[in-house]
Amino acid sequence: MLKTGMIIAERYEILGKIGTGGMADVYKAKDHKLNRFVAVKVLKPEFREDTTFIRKFRSEAQAAAGLTHPNIVNVFDVGDDEGVYYIVMELIEGITLKEYIAKKGKLSIKEATSIAIQVSMGLEAAHNHGIVHRDVKPQNIIISTDGKVKVTDFGIARAASSNTISSNVMGSVHYSSPEQVRGGYSDEKSDIYSLGITLYEMVTGRVPFDGDTTVAIAIKHLQEEMVPPSVYAEELPYSLEQIILKCTQKSVNRRYGKMEDVIADLKHSLIEPQGDFVKLSSVDNEAKTVVISDEELGEIKHSPKKRTSDIAQLEDEEYDTDYDDGEDDYDDDGDYRRKRSSDKKSRKKHKAPNTGLTILALLAGAAVLVAAIFFIGKAAGIIGGDSSADTSQTGQNTDASTEEEGMVVVPDLVGKTEEEATALLEEEKLGKQMMGEEISTQEKGRISSQNIAAGTKVGQYTTLKYYISKGQQTVTMPDLSGETGVDAKQTLEDLGLKVNIQKAYSEDDGSGYPLVNPGYVDSYTPEAGSSVSAGDEVTLVVSRGLDYGNSVSVPSVVGMTENDAITTLGKWIDVQVTEQQSTDVAAGEVISQNPEADTTADPDQPITIVVSSGNEAPAAQTDNTASVADTQTDNTAATQSAADTSAQQSAAVANGEVWKCTQTLNTPTGYKGGAIRLELIQEVNGEMTSTQVVDGEKLTFPYTLDITGAPGVSAGTLYVSEQINGTYQQLGQYPITFQKAE
């Protein structure tokens, strides 16, 4: 055990022990090089001479260091100092999910679902990098003080490959999958099982399998059916219970195939709690003869592109072996075929006595097989058919699908129900994603807005994002006294109000100090307790402190969080914020400022701060940094009205101005090297427009953009998608800025 005050690697000062695990102790420490607090995981003394444990410990660092995701604890450093093996990680202020469940008894449905979605997103990122956690449990899930959920302790995670075999059960037995407790192969579906058990505990307050010994619990995972969670949580929605049951199937083939599907169903359950959309396969599906319906046969017939690969897959298909069958009977494909060949020779030695009858039976069987292949092939469109009719049909389909090279017109979803929107989008072969709820003038439950304007031409399979209306609501103005301008603005926006922020100098309190400190709320209208309608605009006046003229001392904000820095710089009329990727500075902390601290500057001029985005690539940026002046302006620099903006855009068009974006786009998270589609969305004269910037090209990242935007429009959003298995899947969206070309 390390003592308080010890220095590791001449850099990390141990401040105190904050946790312990099976292999390591965790300490809070201060990184004196970067002046920040971190968590340091140190291998326990009894394992330092064990090369196997040291290898596993280093493996943890290597696995976790390759993962960068908002729902995964970041790893900053790894090393050893005179036999002390350590990993330096992001310090998360908060409590574990286990502690949170113990504190609340059981969680609300929405809270449990939200946590499960965030955990799933973190695990999905790990799985996409070939990393399986293998120890998913509430103890390894941290809820930070700001509500962010992060997965930690990839202590037994290893890069998953086609020949990965786990010989030991290393996870906690209450949450371990049947294949883990059996000592068999474990993969992403093992994490899905453990997530299901964790979700069960969140909504019921208990684990499904418990016992006096680990062996007893392990046997229950293998043999016993769990009590449905609705028995302990009567309010549990049907869809969420089905998700839990599908995650925790004992057979891996009956669980979800990937985290992406879990996330989709969890989000769907928030929209349709009692919906019957979770598909559970029956136990004896594999033992039954499946009859293909006419509808399914039609789908097969009209999917010629997939047929070749499907047939090849069927030809190469091998029988699955259960996890407890022991080692396989072959080492590679060649040995497997030789064994099959020897089995055939063995069977030939035991032919039935009546060889003639056997030959006749074989010939008859062959004839039946040929006939079956002919008719099935004809039905599926592989063999024969009415060539003229087929040609006509194909020609019509080809003309329809290739019209304007696969471009379609975006329908108007606003005011529609989700069912109506789904039908419209499916007709145009467009994807959809519900982004949440918002207050609007639309009827509650109907679509209130969409990210791509109706009438815009986009490529097929583009994903449209939309919001569902909460309807119009009346809210009461809260008491904002004593709050910072940043916090007050967030409070008002969370109530669905539009916030017009102004900044003004404060009066002297008579003793040389301002009545209201810089960066804090000075006044607001309407006053606290007033009733306003959601969507109304309210005015928030933020204090600039006392007026010292155009030469004031610049305070140091390096190392502060972004919000604290903006508050500290409350005297400045315009604080501009830009992001920069950094592995040394924690996400959200200020890396540098301009002007620098302890100099003098005019507070009526802009001041710039650079904020770390951590290991995550920041949104694309230029030297023209993203301004937050819209959150900190006085009467002389108030936000332009929509009418003024429209007039400015019209003037820009008339003058023939060219507005360019030449920012640098870093490698998107999850990018696998496929073809890229870049789509620009801008608001022009109150309407959303879409422009295809790149379509179907392989790009080298970092990638320098060269985009011409709408004249007079200084901002836009760039949607980045990658082509995977023939369809585009969105990797991320980035706010970008445009400047008038000189």
End-to-end CA gap in the chain = 64
- State how far the Cα of 211 lies from the Cα of 34, in Å rounded to an integer: 47
Amino acid at site 311:
I
- State how far the Cα of 37 lies from the Cα of 15, in Å rounded to an integer: 9
- State how far the Cα of 422 lies from the Cα of 418, in Å rounded to an integer: 6
| Other C-beta atoms lying within 10 Å of the C-beta of residue 667 | 13
For 630-656, give the DSSP string.
Answer: GGS--GGGPPPPHHHHHHHHHHHHHTT
Cα angle: 212, vertex 213, 218; to 5 degrees: 115
Query: For residue 593, what are the contacts with CB-CB under 8 A and spacing of at least 6?
Result: 554, 556, 557, 558, 565, 607, 608, 609, 610
Cα angle: 404, vertex 408, 414; to 5 degrees: 160
| Other C-beta atoms lying within 10 Å of the C-beta of residue 229 | 23
Burial 352-379 (b: 16+ CB within 10 A, else e): eeeeeeeeeeeeeeeeeeeeeeeeeeeb
Contact 176, 218 (CB under 8 A): yes
- State how far the Cα of 275 lies from the Cα of 583, in Å rounded to an integer: 44
For 496-554, give the DSSP string.
Answer: T-EEEEEEEPPPB-SSSSBSS-TTBEEEEESPTT-EEETT-EEEEEEE--S--TT-EEP
How far, rounded to the nearest angstrom, does the alpha carbon of residue 543 sit from its chain's CA centroid?
A: 38
Number of H helices, E strands in the chain: 17, 35
- State how far the Cα of 288 lies from the Cα of 269, in Å rounded to an integer: 31
Amino acid at site 230:
S
- State how far the Cα of 197 lies from the Cα of 206, in Å rounded to an integer: 10
Query: For residue 333, what are the contacts with CB-CB under 8 A and spacing of at least 6?
Result: none
Tokens of 517: 């400190």
| Other C-beta atoms lying within 10 Å of the C-beta of residue 205 | 15
Query: For residue 186, what are the contacts with CB-CB under 8 A and spacing of at least 6?
Result: 132, 134, 166, 177, 179, 180
- State how far the Cα of 544 lies from the Cα of 329, in Å rounded to an integer: 77
In the residue annotation, 135 being an active-site residue is answered as: yes
Tokens of 36: 């920040």
Please report which residue ranges of 272-327 form alpha helices under DSSP H. 294-301, 304-316
Q: Among residues 135, 153, 191, 522, which one is catalytic?
A: 135
Q: Say whether the peptide bond before residue 702 is cis (omega within 30 degrees of 0).
A: yes
Phi, psi of 319 (to 5 degrees): -70, 140
**DSSP three-state, residue 692:** strand
Please report which residue ranges of 450-496 form alpha helices under DSSP H. 485-494
Task: Write a three-state SS string for 411-451.
Answer: CCCCCCCHHHHHHHHHHHCCEEEEEEEECCCCCCCCEEEEC
**Which of these, 333, 293, 339, 341, lies nearest to 317 by C-alpha position?**
333
Contact 140, 151 (CB under 8 A): yes
Contact 566, 486 (CB under 8 A): yes
**Which of these, 563, 483, 472, lies nearest to 516 by C-alpha position?**
483
**Which of these, 72, 71, 4, lies nearest to 40 by C-alpha position?**
4
| Residues assigned a catalytic role | 135
